Structure 1
Amino acid sequence: MRAGGFPKAYAASGRRAVRVTLVAAAGFYLFRYGLDNPVAATYALFAAVALAGLSKIPGTGRQRAVVVLRLVPVCWLLVVVGTYLSVRTWSAVVGMLVVGFSLAFAAVGGPRPAGAAPGLQLLYMLPSFPPYDPSQLDDRLVGTTTGLALLIAAEALIFPEPAPPTYRERVAGAATAAARCATLLATPPYAVTGADIQAAREAAHALRSLTVPEAERPAGAGLRDRALSHAGLTTRTLLGRLALLQPAPGGRPGAEVSAVLEAVAALATATATCLRAGRSPVSESDELAVARADLSALSAGPVPDGASASVAPDGAAPATDFPPAVLRRHAAVLEIADGALAMGTAADLAVHGRKARAEVAPGRFWYARTRAPFLWWHRVRGHSGRRSVFFQNAVRIALALTAARLVAGVDTLPHGFWATLATLTLTRTTMDETWSTIRRALAGTLAGALLTVGTLLLVGTETWVYAVVLPVWLLFAFTVGPVKGVGWAQGLFTVLVALVFAQLATPTWHLAEARVLDVLIGSAIGAVFGLLAWPRGAHDELRRAAAELLRRAAEIVVATSASVAGDGAAAAPPGVTGHRSLRSAVVLAESAYAQFQSEPMPFGGRGRAVTPPGVDWQATLMAGHHTLWGSERLLKPPVGELGPVAAESVGGLGDRVAGRMLLVSAALDPGGDTPTAPVPSIDPAPQAFTQEPPGAPRLYYASVSWLEALMTDLARIARGGADTERGNAGGP
């Protein structure tokens, strides 16, 4: 941690600890000593500990308060179900399996449900253990409700935090940067300065998930979240295309090109306004569509191989014969226009939902006319297979909790709840991390147990001493534990539970003994299931998902290139099934990448990294998005004709790019023949992308530009982030 990091971390955990302490102590003392209701006191305290201590709900205090408020009915349901299923071991075990999986799998809904899941697990576990008395349900619900109500008030009112810029504000800022770049390209001297390029890269970088607070990320499955995420991706791509646009031959772009760039600037400005104030950018989108159509008609020809002139594909007058350099630039400007139109549409959908006025393409914006339940079902179904890290994590933790509950029920462990809690808090997504966590946790628990024994022997049955020390220890434990790590956290929590239970029953030193035993059993169960269920976490899964993504992308590249080259029969697979499969592959790769970033690097038996070194996973995701968007753009009817020479060139380039994708895929795939081979990065014949077949139309240069961009993405994958900053501006 860099200098100044520890004070900042202690300040953040201290504010959180104050909230937990006030809520937990207030609820506990109110019921334990004010109303003489130990059951309600226990549930009031653990409700606060569950959703403020164990849970990691992202966001400001007010945002967390809103989340907890929405979760109150869920908490009631968990307490009720846990109470009634606990009366028999078999029903409690089955309930733990179903509830444990459901709560863990809820992470597919975004950072907020993922952060709340551990606390909700705790609220279900608490009534699943003795006393098995459904007659206590009223007291349990009263205590839980009181604890949650106090927590909501504390989160909203105590130490209010300034809200960071929202994702909408970030996208609006990036759209403003895009508008400036487009304006500079449309007016003399028709160039973007170095400072503006750097500003564009910084604006694009601000949209990367790693730079956005979890609470602000549009990670939900609903229409507005999907559209806002889409707006961020398209804005990043637009910034990259604007920054890389080559100067016009002769120094002056044509009037049609300038009109398109001016319309792009107007639409980008309107997009920023839409995201900030809500005004739909549909009129600016229409103006850009007209300008784009004019430029498209102007550069649609000439007709290949000296044939007689004909009407341009959109019905305009016969096209003018332009040199290849101009056609290349026209193709790049039309790509910019497409990116801007997609950005405006996505922003309109993000702000207005189903009331958006923008006309949506059924492929790129497939979610725009889909009802919310079906969008959520699509998200759940997409992650319901064994290749999803969300599914893997849910299975791992559900099986571990079920085993812990079974052992506690069959062997009648004293305080078996602690064993299950240890399983929940110590099981990690990789075996290496689980084992490291368990070692530190056991050391901390043993130290805490020794301190507990000394305290219990010294204080004895003087309950008032425990009552006085409890809030001080709560504040200390929740301030130091999160900063010092799992060993300190487990040791401090061991003393904490002793202070609580010493006020609920006659304390003995055996309480510390039971705590050590339960943590040892819970740790062993967590280790076993960490070893048996996907022990390498997202590391192998990311490689496998990236390899599958590139294989799907290669299929689309081949089919799209063949369709553009003149084989119309090849257009169906990428337009229908192929695009859908690649979208699913991108979703799985993105979720694996998100988890991968939170896990330590695994090592082989001699300390060697088992993941291919120098891989830029972000570039892999960019390659998937670029494949989808470029294919959809090139396959818009009417596709047009290239002529024999240009068609052969596009087909050959498509095969070459697809072949390179398959080589990179084979190097990444952990199940392949060469799982540790270096990722190939150099194209053996880069000059092929600069060929200028006689009479080639703009469609040829648009196709070549797309394929060359994909080859650049593949090179970035191998260079392992050497071009990360450039990639930030250029990719989604």
Structure 2
Amino acid sequence: MRAALRELRTGTGPLPAAARRAVRVTLAAGLGFYVFLYGFDRPVEATYALFAAVALAGLSRIPGSGRERALVVARVLPAACALVALGTWLSVRTWAAVAGMLVIGFCVAFSSAAGPRLAGAAPGLQLLYILPCFPPYAPDTFGQRLTGTVAGILLLILAEATVLPDPAVPRYRELAAAAADEAARCAEVLERPPHTLPAAEAARASERSQALRPSHVDEAQRPAGPGVRERALAHTGLAARTLLARLRSLPPPESDPSNGTAGRDLVRAVRESAAGTAVLLRGGTPPATDSTRLRDLQVSLARTPVSGPGPGLRNAALVELADAALVLRGAAGIAVRGRAGAVDAVGPGAGAAAGPADRFWYAGEGPVRLWWHRLAGNSGPRSVHFQNAVRIGVALAVARTVAGVDSLPHGFWAMLAVLSLTRTNAVQTRATVRLALIGTLVGAVAAGGVLALAGEASTVYAIVLPPLMLFAFCVGPVRGVGWAQAMFTLVVAMAFAQLSPTTWELAEVRFLDVLIGSVIGMVCGLLAWPRGAHDELGRAVAELLHAAADDVQAATAAFGRPREVEPDQRVRHALAMAESAYAQYQTERARPATAPGEDWQAAVMTGHHVLWGGRRPPGTPPGPREEAVVREYGARVAAGLRRAAAAADPVHAAGPEEAVDPGRAGPEQAPDPGRAGPEQAPEPTDPGPVGSGARRPGPEGAPPVFYTAMGWLDALTADLALLDRGAGPPATGGAVAPV
């Protein structure tokens, strides 16, 4: 109680947020319903105005503030109108309505692959097809249905944008700019003796890095869409966290004065570049020369001969530090300026040699192509987005068949139960259905009592409906599915009692429909991937580790020579599949227990390390002795990755011959922070030249690129150790990966 009172007083927390949204949906739905029904005597328009607002605000869970939700609702308005039209025309026959439900149900549910905003709007869009797809077949009422739908959605947009504004939350660009500022401050400290970060500075850098973690960012602010700017903003956050990690772990210089001077010059250039990136992210105009100077210093240092492992480690770390700063600047430019920023991101010198054209591949693709990459990458049965869409599409089609064949009164309630109660695994669906049926039964009894006492006195229902809606949409999201079903049962009973003469039997019909829909949802959940993301995560991780092993072996075999193939698209695709499965796995509260040795987080982050290490910075070519050391080490790491893949999924582990065709998948972004679970993309630590292998003395006069490669392989070895012993949260790195 104290917590609830504190939330109400401060305006933050689930209860005040639910209260604000309840006021908006009640105003929009109630105004449209009462104006059409009592002002113009238009029951069809009234029905559609009510359900359109309820669908996109009560049933949907679009993240963000009221203004952000209003923008999303405005964008889906054409789709909502199209769904009402399809539902109206396909209701001519049961088979047509069922076929439409199967296809439309799948497509709308599959749109969740495009990010949390569309995923949040999907249930409401489903309802806008469900409502008109039932008899009577009345194409002559299409205009009335469309009018009510548009009016309800416009009222909702107006209410969301103007009524009870939500507290402001930091935008992701602001968080990234703060991280870039912190990187500049850390670099300034590292310019001065003893060239290490004090504990307080390191802690503050870690705090800024943590602020960019998906679990610490408001869901609406996570850049998760398939567009150029959203991909670039996700890349910016990952690069900022990596840069802060590199700064915290930068080894101090040794006594060699020339090495120290060159290092200080590069650290100063990193500071200038990071400060300019912060200005750019805040909408300013940074100096155009800071990135060019940093590239030149990176190339110079990478080609500087070293006299031992100490200077070699320092040089390799500085080259990687510059690389992280350059990627941060390039990604931020694309995030702010769109494709125009790609010209600066893919510049000459070190960055180009390190492969920025591949890192920023999305900057050269059109919007249709980017959407195709995202959807095609999730189009197979190994994608959890695809599995969820198949499950819900089939369940809705079955419910529509039952409702049509049995002429179920108010059959759309059965489909609504399928839509709102089906979860991603059978355990959660069963638990949800139990609570929903209890809540529906309680609500049906209460509604039956009201209907029996009030009879045909529609004035009573008109007075009761608004406060009931307000209470239902406020309490339901906070108290859970049982309360939501109980209150919604009362709401629909009071609404339908005003549309036509109604008896207490309406409550009985409501409970029967919810029971039928729940049974259908449970059966489909048992037949279609009943364990949710658990099984798929094992398969996805196994494929990721197999792809990583092949890429490591190819990269180290080509060490010392130009690599003919850029880092494998197969790794990107496998990483995208593993991360989406891991994100869903984190949301499944009733998931099966994790067996010993299953550290999915470490396995996912191994993919980041592989993509990062496949890009070697420019510099002095290695000699034959260095090549031999790296190749032998790479072969051992690849063998360990294959063993880890077999352990992750002993039955279904996919070898190279079973790999997903990378040409079909396309270069999909590796991390997807917008759909991230609480532990996705953990804070990066330096996976590079500070590893144990890099500390071992290399061949005399080994160039920095040798220490870079050894540090990369050391990081993968550390990941393998975590996978082997199933340790707790791994201290894994966040590579500057191509998103």
Whether TM exceeds 0.5 here: the answer is yes
Query: Aligned residue for 1:632?
Result: 615
Q: Mapping of 1:319-358 within 5 angstroms?
A: 321-356=306-341, 357-358=343-344
Given candidates 501, 506, 516, the residue that maps to 2:501 is 506
Cα deviation per residue 1:364-411 (whole Å; 9 max; x = unaligned)? 111121111111111111010111111111111001001111111111
Cα distance in 1 for residues equivalent to 2:55 and 2:332: 37
The answer to whether the 8 A contact 2:609-2:733 is kept is no
Instruction: Indicate which of 296, 317, 323 corresponds to 1:290.
Output: 296
- Supply the AA of the counterpart residue of 2:608: H
* Structure-1 separation of matches of 2:345 and 2:45: 56
Paired residue secondary structure (1:161) = coil
Distance 1:457 1:717, change over 3 A: same
Distance 1:655 1:3, change over 3 A: farther
Whether the 8 Å contact between 1:236 and 1:730 is mirrored in structure 2 is no
- 1:648 equivalent among 624, 628, 645: 628
Corresponding residue for residue 660 of structure 1: 640
Aligned to 2:679: none
CA contact under 8 A between 1:280 and 1:348: conserved in structure 2?
A: no
Q: Contact (CA 8 Å) 1:170, 1:207: kept in 2 or not?
A: yes
Change over 3 Å in CA distance of 1:148–1:545 after alignment to 2: same
Contact 1:278 1:351 in 2 (8 A): no
Q: Is the 8 A contact 1:540 1:670 kept in 2?
A: no
Aligned residue in 2 for 1:396: 391
Q: Output the CA distance in 2 between the equivalents of 1:2 and 1:431.
A: 36
Aligned residues of 2:605 and 2:734 also touching (Cα < 8 A): no
Which residue is 1:82 aligned to? Answer: 87
Task: Rate the CA distance shift 1:631–1:592 in 2: closer, same or farther, 3 A.
Answer: same
- SS at structure 2 position matched to 1:254: helix
Match of 1:591 among 559, 580, 605: 580
Q: CA–CA distance in 2 between the matches of 1:180 and 1:715?
A: 34
**Cα deviation, residue 248, structure 1:** 1.7
**In the TM superposition, what is the alpha-carbon distance from 1:344 to its structure 2 partner?**
0.8
- Structure 1 residues 281 and 652: alpha-carbon distance in aligned structure 2, compared to 1, 3 A threshold: farther
Structure 1 residue 541, shift from structure 2 partner: 1.6
Equivalent-residue separation in structure 2 for 1:622 and 1:716 (angstroms): 11
Say which SS state the counterpart of residue 189 (structure 1) adopts. Answer: coil
* Contact 2:183 2:244 survives alignment (8 Å): yes
CA shift, 1:728, in A, is 7.3
Alpha-carbon separation, structure 2, partners of 1:670 and 1:19: 51
1:26 to 2:35 alignment: no
Point out the more displaced range, 485-494 or 587-596: 587-596
Kept in 2, the 8 Å contact 1:93–1:402? The answer is yes
Q: CA deviation at 1:90?
A: 1.2
C-alpha displacement of 1:259: 1.0
Contact 2:23 2:470 in 1 (8 A): yes
Aligned residue for 1:433?
428
Amino acid at match of 1:649: V
| Aligned counterpart, 1:706 | 712
Counterpart Cα distance in 2 of 1:727 and 1:398: 38
Shift of 1:163: 2.4
Residue range with higher mean Cα deviation, 208-217 or 665-674: 665-674
Structure 2 counterpart of 1:682 = none
- Report the counterpart of residue 261 of structure 1 in structure 2: 267
2:233, 2:331 within 8 Å by CA — same for their partners in 1? yes
Identity of aligned residues (%): 52
Q: Give me the whole-angstrom Cα distance separating, in 2, the residues matched to 1:673 and 1:164.
A: 43
Listed as ranges, the matches of 1:161-180 within 5 Å are: 161-180=166-185
Distance in 1, Cα, partners of 2:47 & 2:287: 55
Deviations 1:312-332 (A, max 9, x none): xxxxxxxxx512111111011
Instruction: Show the 5 A alignment for 1:76-225.
Output: 76-225=81-230
Cα drift, residue 272 of structure 1: 0.8
- The TM-score with structure 2 as length reference comes to 0.89
Trace 1:413-424 onto structure 2 (pairs within 5 A).
413-424=408-419
Counterpart residue number, 2:536? 541
What is the Cα deviation at residue 642 of structure 1?
Answer: 2.4
For residues 730 and 220 of structure 1, do their structure 2 counterparts lie closer, same or farther at Cα, with a shift above 3 Å needed? closer
TM-fit CA distance, 1:593: 2.0
Partners of 2:608 and 2:735 within 8 A in 1: no
Letter in 2 for 1:170: L
Alpha-carbon separation, structure 1, partners of 2:287 and 2:392: 46
- Summarize the Cα distance change of 1:722–1:281 in structure 2 as closer, same or farther, 3 Å threshold: farther
CA distance in 1 between counterparts of 2:282 and 2:7 reads 36
Query: Are residue 457 (structure 1) and residue 443 (structure 2) matched?
Result: no
Using the size of structure 1 for normalisation, the TM-score is: 0.89
Which of 244, 247, 253 in structure 1 is aligned with 2:249? 244
Equivalent residues of 1:186, 1:262 under 8 A apart: yes
Query: What one-letter code is carried by the residue in structure 2 that aligns with 1:68?
Result: V
Distance 1:281 1:704, change over 3 A: farther
How many residues align? The count is 684
Q: Which residue of 415, 426, 447 corresponds with 2:442?
A: 447
Matched, 1:620 2:609: no
CA RMSD of aligned residues (A): 2.3
Distance (whole Å) between structure 2 residues aligned to residue 163 and residue 614 of structure 1? 42
Which residue of the partner structure matches residue 74 of structure 2?
69
Match 1:560 to one of 555, 559, 580: 555
1:712 is displaced (CA, Å) by 3.0
Mapped to 2, the partners of 1:402 and 1:655 lie a distance apart of: 51
State the match for 2:665 in structure 1.
none
Q: Which secondary structure does the structure 1 equivalent of 2:587 belong to?
A: coil
| Equivalence for 1:495 | 490
Question: 2: distance between equivalents of 1:670 and 1:451?
Answer: 53
CA contact (8 A) 1:228 1:347 kept: yes
Q: 2:81 and 2:693 mapped to 1: Cα distance?
A: 65
How do residues 510-525 of structure 1 correspond to structure 2 at under 5 angstroms? 510-525=505-520
Q: Which whole-Å deviations, capped at 9, do the CAs of 1:111-160 have from their partners, x for residues lacking one?
A: 11100000010011110113321111111111111111111111111110
1:548-586: CA deviation from partner (whole Å, max 9, x where unpaired) = 21221111111111211x5x49x33xx34x521111111
Q: Which amino acid aligns with 2:268?
A: E
Cα distance in structure 2, aligned partners of 1:415 and 1:258 = 74
Structure 2 distance, partners of 1:66, 1:599, is: 29
Which deviations, in whole Å up to 9, do the C-alpha atoms of 1:473-512 show, x marking residues without a partner?
Answer: 1111111111111111111111111111111111112211
Stretches of structure 1 lacking an aligned partner (at least 5 in a row) = 300-320, 604-608, 675-685
Is the partner of 1:428 in helix, strand or coil? coil
Q: Secondary structure at the match of 1:162?
A: coil
Residues 296 and 369 (structure 1), Cα distance of their counterparts in 2 relative to 1, 3 Å cut: same
| Cα distance change on mapping 1:506 and 1:649 into 2, 3 Å | same
User: Relative to structure 1, is the Cα distance of residues 354 and 650 closer, same or farther in structure 2, using a 3 angstrom cutoff?
Assistant: same
| Secondary structure of the corresponding residue to residue 246 of structure 1 | coil
Native 8 Å contact 2:694 2:707 kept in 1: no
Distance in 2 between residues matched to 1:59 and 1:515, nearest whole Å: 32
CA–CA distance in structure 2, aligned partners of residues 461 and 498 of structure 1: 13
CA distance in 1, matches of 2:616, 2:609: 10
Number of the residue aligned with 1:318: none
On the 8 A contact 2:382/2:577 being kept in 1, the answer is: yes
Q: Unpaired segments of 5 or more residues in structure 2? A: 347-355, 655-690
- Quick one: distance in 2 between partners of 1:344 and 1:226? 14
Q: CA deviation at 1:34?
A: 1.0
| 1:660 positional shift | 2.6
Task: Tell me, in whole angstroms, the C-alpha distance in 2 between the residues paired with 1:141 and 1:359.
Answer: 47
8 Å contact from structure 2 (residues 621, 703) kept in 1: no
Q: Return the offset for 1:461.
A: 1.1
Cα 1:343/1:552, change in 2 over 3 Å: same
Separation of aligned partners in 2, 1:712 and 1:261: 28
C-alpha distance in 2 between matches for 1:61 and 1:399: 33
Give the AA of the match of 2:313.
Answer: R
Q: CA deviation at 1:663?
A: 2.7
The equivalent of 1:581 in structure 2 is: 570
Give a deviation string over 1:387-446, Cα, whole Å, max 9, x none.
111111111100100111111111111111111111101110000000001111111111
